[in-house]
């Protein structure tokens, strides 16, 4: 390389990039059409005038962008384009939310670029969100009930970053608490002990070994679960046999402590009842004329009432 060419190369490099000790570290302007992925200039404000957040800020949705894009110059709070956007951009704070927007960085050889036509659509900017609405009513207090809240994008001609709706489980502590209790029954046939109804297996086939059975029949037959503490009971689910004998439980009564709360009122193998009571025991009492009492599982969705 002769001296004239070397001087020319150095002039071009210094015109469009940063040169430190013969090492090119990035452009200070965006070449037409390259999206600014090599831009390493110091613009740190969005087109809408918002100050950029630092890339290593812990508020960026919990993501470490410098770790995710280690070779893309994510220093300080400078506008960058590590992910193929149309141009350099940055995050900025919008109240308690996080938004992002494009930056107005210099275009290399701007004089050679054609002037934008007035007929071209405006370049897209990112809008920002309203505050979230109040949470909706829960679909159920327990048993996986959820609630949602929404927010709206304030400038409808632009998009917002993120989701317009959030969903959460209403009461994460509310779950099947039957295992906290101790199960008994008036009598036991063929080793089909009372604890089988709170073993976590609702399979209704007797041969699977997870179903209770009393020796007694009719009004003499009962099954009970007692808790060592007060329990808030939201929903009680009773599973019966699926292989036969569903009529044996028809119209059996379900008590919380001494109060009758519902009946197993149909010939079926699944009953679900919302009860919303605090108590220490659940008793299933069979009806006169019915056969042995067999229960596949009892689930109690609730929580400790402390
Ligand atoms: Ca069971």
Residue 2's beta-bridge partner residues? none
- Residue 172 CA, ligand 1 centroid: distance in Å: 24
Instruction: Judge whether residue 8 has pLDDT over 70.
Output: no
What CATH number does the domain containing 41 carry? 2.40.20.10
Q: Are residues 108 and 10 in the same domain?
A: yes
**E strands, 28-94, where?**
89-94
Judge if 196 and 294 occupy the same domain: yes
Tell me, yes or no, whether 180 and 294 share the same domain: yes
Residues 76 and 126 in one domain: no
| Å from CA of 206 to ligand 1 middle | 10
Q: pLDDT digit string (tens) for 154-211?
A: 877 777 878 889 988 877 677 899 999 999 999 999 999 999 999 999 999 999 999 9
Overall domain count for the chain: 3
Nearest-angstrom CA–CA distance, 215 and 190: 8
Q: 204 C-alpha vs ligand 1 centroid, how far in Å?
A: 8
- pTM score of the predicted model: 0.51
For CA atoms 285, 288, 293, 295, give the dihedral sign.
negative
Ligand 1 centroid – CA 168 distance (Å): 30
Beta-bridge partners for 91: 100
305 Cα: distance to centroid of ligand 1 (angstroms): 25
What gap in Å lies between CA 70 and CA 81, rounded to an integer? 12
Question: Do 13 and 104 share a domain, yes or no?
Answer: yes
Report the separation in Å between the CA atom of 263 and the middle of ligand 1, taken as the mean of its atom positions. 20
* Range of 9-18, 94-103, 237-246 with top mean pLDDT: 237-246
Q: Count CB atoms within 10 A of the CB of residue 75.
A: 13
Q: Which residues contact 146 (CB under 8 A, 6 or more apart)?
A: 138, 139, 167, 168, 169, 170
Clarify whether residues 188 and 290 are in a common domain. Answer: yes
Of 114, 142, 160, the last residue of a domain is 114
* Percentage of the chain modeled with pLDDT above 70: 83
Show which of 76, 98, 114 is a domain's final residue.
Answer: 114
Q: Give the tens place of pLDDT for each residue, 65-108.
A: 888 888 888 989 999 988 888 889 998 887 777 888 899 888 88
230 and 259 both lie in a single domain: yes
Residues whose CB is less than 8 angstroms from the CB of residue 112 and which lie 6 or more positions away in sequence, other chains included: none
Q: Report CA(235)–ligand 1 centroid distance (Å).
A: 17
- Kindly give, in sequence order, each residue whose CB lies less than 8 Å from that of residue 117, ignoring residues fewer than 6 positions away: none
Measured between alpha carbons, how far is 223 from 212 in angstroms, rounded to an integer? 9
Domain housing 266: 175-304
3-class secondary-structure state, position 257: coil
C-alpha 183/C-alpha 194 separation (Å) is 5
For residues 180 and 298, membership in a common domain is answered with yes
Residues whose beta carbons lie less than 5 angstroms from ion ligand 1: 196, 199, 201, 210, 297
**Distance in Å, CA 87 to ligand 1 centroid:** 60
Query: 197 CA to middle of ligand 1, Å?
Result: 4
Poorest-confidence range of 58-62, 121-125, 222-226?
121-125
Q: What is the CATH number of the domain that holds 145?
A: 2.20.100.10
Helix, strand, coil % in the chain, rounded to nearest 5: 15, 35, 55
Domain of 284, CATH number, reads 2.60.120.260
- Of 172, 187, 202, the residue that ends a domain is 172
**Per-residue model confidence (pLDDT) at position 169:** 82
Instruction: Report CA(194)–ligand 1 centroid distance (Å).
Output: 9
Alpha carbon of 212 to ligand 1 centroid (Å): 8
- Token pair 């080793």 is found at 191
Question: How many angstroms does the Cα of residue 224 sit away from the middle of ligand 1?
Answer: 14
Residues 219 and 276 in one domain: yes
């Amino acid at each position: 390389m002769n001296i004239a060419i070397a001087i020319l190369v150095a002039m071009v490099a210094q015109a469009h990039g940063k040169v430190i000790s013969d090492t090119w570290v990035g452009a200070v302007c965006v070449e037409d059409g390259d999206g600014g992925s090599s831009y390493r200039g110091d613009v740190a404000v969005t087109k809408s005038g918002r100050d950029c957040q630092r890339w290593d800020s812990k508020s960026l949705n919990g993501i470490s962008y410098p770790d995710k894009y280690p070779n893309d110059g994510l220093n300080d709070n400078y506008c960058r384009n590590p992910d193929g956007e149309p141009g350099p951009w940055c995050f900025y704070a919008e109240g308690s939310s996080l938004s992002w927007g494009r930056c107005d960085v210099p275009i290399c050889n701007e004089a050679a670029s054609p002037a934008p036509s007035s007929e071209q659509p405006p370049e897209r900017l990112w809008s920002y969100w309203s505050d979230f609405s109040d949470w909706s009513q829960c679909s159920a207090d327990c048993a996986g009930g959820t609630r949602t809240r929404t927010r709206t994008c304030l400038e409808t001609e632009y998009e917002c970053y993120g989701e317009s709706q959030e969903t959460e489980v209403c009461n994460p502590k509310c779950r099947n608490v039957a295992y906290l209790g101790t199960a008994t029954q008036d009598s036991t046939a063929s080793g089909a002990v009372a604890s089988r109804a709170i073993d976590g297996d609702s399979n209704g086939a007797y041969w699977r070994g997870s179903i209770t059975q009393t020796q007694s029949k009719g009004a003499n037959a009962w099954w009970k679960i007692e808790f060592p503490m007060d329990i808030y009971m939201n929903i009680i689910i009773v599973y019966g046999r699926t292989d036969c004998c569903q009529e044996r439980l028809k119209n059996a009564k379900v008590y919380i402590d001494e109060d009758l709360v519902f009946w197993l009122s149909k010939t079926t193998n699944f009953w679900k009842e919302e009860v919303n009571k605090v108590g220490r025991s659940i008793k299933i009492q069979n009806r006169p004329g019915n056969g042995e009492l067999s229960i596949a599982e009892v689930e109690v969705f609730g929580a400790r009432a402390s």
